[in-house]
Amino acid sequence: MAYTYSGYDSYDYSSSGMDDVGEKVNEPPDVLAAGKRNKAGGKAGSGVMLMEQLAAEVTDDEPAVTSAEPMDAGIAETSLQTGLSPAQVASLRMTHGYNEVVTKPTPAWLQFALFFWGPMPWLIEIAAVLSIVVGDWKGLGIIVTLLVINAVIGFHEERHAGAAVAALQDSLAPDATVLRDGKVRVIPARELVPGDVIMVKGGDIVPADAIVVPLKPVGMTAATASRVMVDQASLTGESLPVSRSYGQRLLSSSLVKTGDVTAQVTAIGAETVIGKASSLVSEASSSAPKGIKKTLVKLSNVMLVMAFVVALVLLVHGLVLHRDLLELLQLVLVIVIAAIPVAMPTVVTVTMAVGAHQLARANAVVTELTSLEQLASVDILCSDKTGTLTQNKLSLHDCVVPTKAITIDDVLDAALFCSVNDDDAVDHVFLQAGRARAAGEPWINVSRTEQLHRTESIRVPVTNSEVLLRQARAASVTIDTGSAGTQHPVAAGVRILHRVPFDPAVKRTEATIVDSRFGEPSVYRVAKGATHVIATMCGLDDDVNYSASVEHMANRGYRSVAVARSVSSSPDDPDAQWELVGLFAIFDPPRIDTAHVVRRCHELGIEVKMLTGDQSIIGRETARLIGLGDNIVTADELFSDSLTDAIKAERAEALDGLGEVYPSHKYAFVSLLQSRGHVVAMTGDGVNDAPAIKAANCGIAVEGATAAAQSAAAVVLLNPGLSAIINAVEEARRIFTRMSSYITFRIVDSFHVLFFLAISILFLDFELDSIHVAILAILNDVSLVSIAFDHARDSARPLKWNLPFLLILGGVLSCVMIASTIVTYYIAHKASWGWQLQVDATKTAVYLQISVSGHLAIFATRVQDSLAVLYAPSRVVVGGVLASQLVATALAGFGILMEKLAWSHVAEIWGIAVATFLIVDYVKLVFHIFFTDDDETSVAAPARAPDNAAPPAGSVATVAAQAKDH
């Protein structure tokens, strides 16, 4: 392939393979014209037009762009050779802005006003209207105060939490490789402008709409392929990738699966196809509650149903007794206020935001707050092996050749010629070996060069420049066989005509090269890849010696890379005959902390399963080093067509890992585990991991992950290895425990007030005023935000919501609280030996007892499997509770908004409340002992602990020593 360049006005997209990728282009791809067409076609308000345009622009057989509209002045002459200049960038930035889709923010006033709109605020507002109807002006003031305080707290905390998450997400903002002013640099993707020359490779998310160009710009050291495979599922929903080559468009947000190309940006931000669709998507986004929000909605519904049932019973009771209708409405008002859990969303949001901040300090970035809940529930962790469980610092070890005619240097040459990318771990190990050999340094840890003992000799490629010359004549292009292609970055005298980058779907990479090291140029193809893939290419699937050599390396914990070559020079030649050159043994030692992480996962009730593209026997050796079980089979064995889905799921559950996997296998493996009721976390770093990461309940992108993996993940690790996952799981469970503590308290408190009111009206002929209930609600909402900052105990098992259990526990504890309040009522008003208070003073006494005992119950519900005194709360929680109850006590003692109560009675009520707390704490512990077992917690039904929960003994030092021996 060849092309000439003489300014932007003259392109020659001549290529021997151009006919099968699109129309030949003889005119410049107009960068800004394409952007203008995008603008014209995507006006707001025309959703149908936009979708039609989207479908048209992402067709699989898209022809090359042929527009001849002129470029903006100043770009046309130099953009592809040296990139844009700083002045051009500044000018284009003024015209087009930044490469981002700016969503119109909700005005602060509207965001605040929304806290007065919704089912819960409506109920409070109805209560306010009822206060006006019955002329209860004090009650009205308290109710309005309750409504405003909840709105202020919710508004402040949600904005704060939203800003925190936005800041964390900004730290993950994607970068782009761009050519500017003659230099290649990496910049934030948002700084791209139309006309920028960018480079994208496998694993990248295309940062803007762009057109593939056939030039290798100055400074772009890595060779670029003639085409890329692009996954446009985010745009079209089609699962299969499409081919994109010279003159064809790459659309923003699509995923480059394989290849790397140079492209020129045509549109950015809101001018891109996906940018226009984003506005419609945001307008149509679902507001259906998920996760913890769904649990809160269920809990709120339960409480409101109970409140309405109680209100209906009391209303019928009042009508039977011929009570005044306004009095009955006021009674309903009190019941509604008592049952509304207004502060629940705020408390939960603050709790998760605080946890996300703490995880960020441990270099684990949470992209969605709700993912913390899923992480607390994870019971199976599926992990990619290379680079996650291992160091991904490869070194060459022994070499196997098919015949003595092949030397170890021949094998390195063949592997080196199709290795050009230092960012790829396998390419890097061969490039480093090539550099070391050129410098006369040791480049392989060779104990011996083994031989396959084959009877026939390998065919050595012939020196035949005529192959290249015939190809050049067919394309009607004058070409120099000594300078065609791209100079190899390490091997002198070798130029690359065509390269197919590594594709995880086929597990190999190959290159067509011109070898001029020995005089007359020789053209041939080289390939390296997985041993079973190269075996098929070379017809060695049934070769006993080949299989034995691969297995021997695997038994020693080595990963094998096979190398082959062919005399065929055509990249698309289906009849090419490949011959094996040799096998290299590559060792990738486990990370120093991996064994500890696996052991801690087992201690936390999380089963670790390893997914690797290597042979299962290599996986078993790695598993032995890090403390995993050895029940590892190949993907083909698990996903055999002869097995039903149910059997596959059962076997997947029992496995310790899976070998020889492709990306689709990882996705299917996660789905099988989920079908068995497991909450699955999936870690990975590459584009091949992204589908499984997205499918998992909690996807985790490890340090150094591609943009594709990061965008699919709910948690992104910024430190190497999996140690941060342990911190994240522990923190997520503490967050879950805090939320559970609050919800349990809220159930107890609401049941306490609601059913005491019903009992007192039906059987005691006594009722609290609406102002008492409203003050209780205000003090609860203000003080309970402190739970977000409480100490929380680590759970040794995964946690899942068990709302029926919480409701039963809340009902039992509320019975103790109700009994205590009834006793207080009798002491204050009924008992001859009691205080003999008047009705209004009795209301004050009952109000204070409910308030103090209710808040002390927080300390009981925060720890469910032991007595509260054995696990101290945080100072923030103690301060919040004491502050609110000092206010409650002052109101009663000084007679503010209610009848004054003697301080001696106040002290006695505190004593009753403390005694109630001790009883509630003990009943809670007894309930936990009798109604849960070792495999359950009060809020969850955790998955069973893995059978290998006690991993093999061995310190990190032992593992490191074992790795060193290999």
Assess whether 543 carries a catalytic annotation. Answer: no
Per the CB < 8 A criterion, the answer to whether 666 and 692 are in contact is yes
Per the CB < 8 A criterion, the answer to whether 232 and 297 are in contact is no
Phi, psi of 191 (to 5 degrees): -90, 0
Beta strand 698-701 with 680-684 is parallel
- Give how far Cα 365 sits from Cα of 168, 291, 680, 878, Å: 6, 19, 19, 30
Distance (Å, whole) CA 352 – CA 737: 11
Distance (Å, whole) CA 702 – CA 704: 6
Tokens at residue 325, please? 């209708």
* DSSP strands (E only) in 686-830: 698-701, 715-717
How would you class 864 by CB atoms within 10 Å of its CB: exposed for 0-12, middle for 13-18, buried for 19 or more? buried
**Of 768, 913, 912, the residue nearest 314 (C-alpha):** 768
Q: Give 498's strand partners.
A: 512
* Share in percent of the chain as helix, strand, coil (round to 5): 50, 15, 35
Phi, psi of 559 (to 5 degrees): -95, 130
Rg (CA), the chain: 35
Distance (Å, whole) CA 412 – CA 233: 39
Phi, psi of 247 (to 5 degrees): 85, -5
Helices (H), 16-62: 31-41, 47-57
**Of 497, 511, 407, 418, the residue nearest 460 (C-alpha):** 407
Per the CB < 8 A criterion, the answer to whether 790 and 876 are in contact is yes
**Of 727, 728, 731, 723, the residue nearest 713 (C-alpha):** 728
Helix H or strand E segment including 693 = helix 690-695
Per the CB < 8 A criterion, the answer to whether 175 and 677 are in contact is no
**Of 527, 487, 488, 530, the residue nearest 511 (C-alpha):** 527
Helices (H), 42-107: 47-57, 79-82, 86-96
Distance (Å, whole) CA 770 – CA 706: 58
Q: Which amino acid, 264?
A: Q
Distance (Å, whole) CA 376 – CA 698: 10
Distance (Å, whole) CA 78 – CA 70: 14
**Of 390, 294, 870, 340, the residue nearest 592 (C-alpha):** 390
**640 Cβ partners below 8 Å, 6+ apart?**
none
- Give how far Cα 727 sits from Cα of 24, 375, 701, 734, Å: 55, 11, 15, 11
Q: Which amino acid, 766?
A: F
DSSP string of 876-906, one letter each residue: HHHHHHHHHHHHHHHHHHHTSSS----HHHH
Catalytic residue selected from 136, 260, 384, 749 = 384
Q: Which of the residues are catalytic?
A: 384
